[in-house]
Amino acid sequence: MSVRIYGKNPAIEILSTDKKVFNAFVMEDTNQDIIKILKEKNININYLNKHNFKKDFLGNHQGIVLEVEDYKTLDLDEFIASIDIKTNPLVLMLDGITDPHNFGAIIRSAEAGGVAGVIIPNKRSVKITGTVAKVSSGAIEYVKIVEVTNLRNSIDKLKKIGFWAIGTDLNADKSYQDIDITVPLLLVMGSEGKGVSKIIKDNVDYNVKIDMAGKINSLNASVSAGILIFDILRKKS
């Protein structure tokens, strides 16, 4: 199986890794810098004129599309084996995120903020797609994505090895500024509309809210994730 990745930045990031690229589609008279790399790597290049390229590839492609191998996800045991619990890592869990643009933006913030991995359920959740990779601006190449069958069981497993699980809830008593960063952290984010599910909120160690001064009492999921991730990074720094 393969996935098509659109855009210059994602293409450049992919070509800087060992990820398998099956084909490249390039609009004529564009992306000479990327073409040079493609030739060095002996990747098959398909040149299309502007009309045919726009007909075949919709969206913000910037004249370059790569067909690459599917992104590999980890199971929870593989992920746990890959991290050092003694470094007090930050792990993100997404509950009910279905918008690929939100997912891609969250991955971008996660990579920039030093998140050790992002956990998603294997059902009723967004998957890694070309849109996700595009919005992540190449960050998907460096973030571990973990797929699990049951979020609650995964929380319990991580808590048993030392993680503190923190949910997000508009009605929480604690502020996000009260998060203790001296322990391994599992931060659970919900969708913009429904938030974190009740069963998850009841199973975390505590819930926090983002204090707001305006009249709108909710934020885009990727914005909320960015605020929390970078506040934790600030405290650790």
H/E element, 4: strand 2-6
User: CA 62 → CA 8, 40, 59, distances in Å?
Assistant: 6, 21, 9
Q: Which CATH architecture has domain 76-236?
A: 3-Layer(aba) Sandwich (3.40)
**pLDDT(121) > 70:** yes
Tokens describing residue 220: 């885009």
Place of tokens 């405290």: 235
Please name the amino acid found at residue 166: I
Give the pLDDT confidence score for residue 1 in this predicted structure.
77
Determine the pLDDT at residue 218. 67
- Evaluate whether the domain defined by 2-69 bears CATH number 3.40.50.300: no
DSSP E strands: which ranges in 136-193? 145-148, 164-168, 174-175, 185-190
The answer on pLDDT for 130 being more than 90 is no
pTM of this prediction? 0.88
* pLDDT at residue 8 is higher than 80: yes
Residue 189: per-residue pLDDT: 94
pLDDT score recorded for residue 4: 92
- For residue 214, pLDDT beyond 90: no
Q: How far is the CA of 209 from the CAs of 102, 201, 217, in angstroms?
A: 19, 12, 10
Neighbours of 67 (CB within 10 A): 18
pLDDT at 122: 92
- pLDDT of amino acid 92: 98
**Per-chain mean pLDDT for the chain:** 93
**Per-residue pLDDT at 28 exceeds 90:** yes
Cβ(91)–Cβ(187) below 8 Å? yes
Q: Is 223's pLDDT higher than 80? A: yes
Whether residue 63 is predicted with pLDDT greater than 90 in this model: the reply is yes
Q: Quick check: 93 pLDDT over 90?
A: yes
pLDDT of residue 231: 96
Domains of the chain, residue spans: 2-69, 76-236
pLDDT digits (tens, 9 = 90+) for 162-182: 999 999 998 899 999 999 999
pLDDT digits (tens, 9 = 90+) for 192-207: 778 899 999 999 999 9
Residue 217 has pLDDT above 70, yes or no: no
Largest CA distance in the chain: 58
How much is the pLDDT for 216?
A: 61
Give the model's pLDDT for residue 215: 60
